[in-house]
Structure 1
Amino acid sequence: MRDLPVVGTPPAERADAAHNRRRIVRAAAELIATRGPEAVSMDEVARAAGVGVGTVYRRFGDRARLVYAVIDDREREFQTAFIHGPPPLGPGSPAPDRLRAFLHALADRTDAQADLLFMAESGPSDARFRDGSYGLYHRHVAMLLAQVRPGADTAYLADALLAPFAANLFLFQRRTRGMTLDRVKTGLDALADALIVRTL
């Protein structure tokens, strides 16, 4: 299999600039996790990161772009894990095992940043699908499905398996319906198994 590219990899930076970026993003992530994105200011992030507020503005421009940087940082880690990481999430396991592992890992990844992902998906109606990450997920799931369901409409089935990860639905299930993350994963397993068992 040809490796998929990790989406959103930042351009090369000077060592000091890269160091500052990591400090700022880490500080923003910690503040967002404890107080929520709407309560976080650029001044607070600068203080928490130990840099001047001008450095934060020069690097990110505004709070919205800083929030997206926090999303992107976690996203790159996730993509690296399923493209290059150890099995069963990464290469080396049978397609059914990789598919289940991917769905579980994506549930964890979505749960960790559901509010931020909701903000990112709250633009145009197709905002979720324009994001480069969705295209990568879709290609990955379609590739695994092609191995377990040769000849199936894997483009459609991949969309169907990814639909539960829309942030608004995910948040509704977790917070309004009160579903645990384990229950969500069990449901995802049932969806995947309905596609997989036909070939076993």
Structure 2
Amino acid sequence: MDSDSPDAPALVLLGHGAPEPRRADAVRNRGKALEAAQRVYRREGIEGLTMQKVALEAGVGVGTLYRGFTDKAGLAMALLDERERQLQELMISGPAPLGPGAEPVPRLVAFVTAYVQLVADQLDLVLMSETSAVGARFRSGAHNVWRAHCRHLIQLAGAPSGDYRAEALLAALSGEMIAHGLREQDKSRTQLADDAVGLARALVVAGPDHDRGPDGRS
């Protein structure tokens, strides 16, 4: 089965939650709030991105902002949606190897490389969205898309335990791991992408170990 098999799971464009129908005024307010949040974030960084400042910048009530986004983490997630959707669109219908038409390992490598860049570009927003609560990273719609994509490619490459290996790979691509590499280990984005690609390749070439004995021998 190749990477374009009809058995491949359909990737659905998701952000941090499927969109719900909204009234026209709610849609306008949300758009204004996101544009204002982006301006505040670019001007003052993640520390300056407060609900009060965004509401003032957008010209909407603070209560309106809380109803639309719940809290600062929800606002951060919404700001990430556009970049994540762009990557998802490329995965679904973009040129190979990120999009369909390539073998599973090159597609996985292309995804990992692109995802490292996405996280590094939006690092503070990613950290906010992933650490707002215990397990927040696992509950996002975007994470479900990344996991399904990685699991599918890992399984197509012939490796077992696709779900577990996909989660292991995504753990290495988390905001905290990327931040540690960039800020504590002083690695470049290229080095981090190379490290992540090496891990991805190791995960897809490792075979089943159910026939090995307790000492690791066949």
Backbone CA RMSD of aligned residues:
2.8
Deviates most, 108-117 or 76-85 = 76-85
CA separation in 2, counterparts of 1:59 and 1:156? 34
From 100, 105, 110, the counterpart of 1:101? 110
CA separation in 2, counterparts of 1:193 and 1:67? 32
Q: Does 1:65 align with 2:60?
A: no
- Higher normalized helix content (fraction of residues): 1
The match for 1:185 is: 193
- Contact 1:99 1:192 (8 Å CA) reproduced: yes
Quick one: which amino acid aligns to residue 165 of structure 1? L
CA separation in 1, counterparts of 2:131 and 2:22? 31
Q: Given the superposition, is the C-alpha separation of residues 128 and 36 from structure 1 closer, same or farther in structure 2, using an over 3 Å criterion?
A: same
- Contact 1:149 1:195 (8 Å CA) reproduced: no
The match for 1:111 is: 120
The match for 1:167 is: 175
Structure 1 runs not aligned, ≥5 long = none
TM-score normalised over the length of structure 1 = 0.81
- Contact 1:42 1:53 (8 Å CA) reproduced: no
Greater Rg, structure 1 or structure 2?
A: 2
The match for 2:130 is: 121
Deviation of 1:112 (Å): 2.1
Question: 3-state SS of the aligned residue for 2:98?
Answer: coil
Q: Given the superposition, is the C-alpha separation of residues 47 and 85 from structure 1 closer, same or farther in structure 2, using an over 3 Å criterion?
A: farther
Structure 2 runs not aligned, ≥5 long = 1-7, 208-218
Deviation of 1:62 (Å): 4.4
Query: Percent identity among equivalent residues?
Result: 34
Q: Given the superposition, is the C-alpha separation of residues 76 and 147 from structure 1 closer, same or farther in structure 2, using an over 3 Å criterion?
A: same
Q: Given the superposition, is the C-alpha separation of residues 125 and 42 from structure 1 closer, same or farther in structure 2, using an over 3 Å criterion?
A: closer
Deviation of 1:181 (Å): 0.4
Q: Does 1:158 align with 2:163?
A: no
Q: Given the superposition, is the C-alpha separation of residues 57 and 19 from structure 1 closer, same or farther in structure 2, using an over 3 Å criterion?
A: same
The match for 2:45 is: 36
Deviation of 1:102 (Å): 0.6
Deviations 1:144-185 (A, max 9, x none): 0111125x2222221222121222222111111111101111
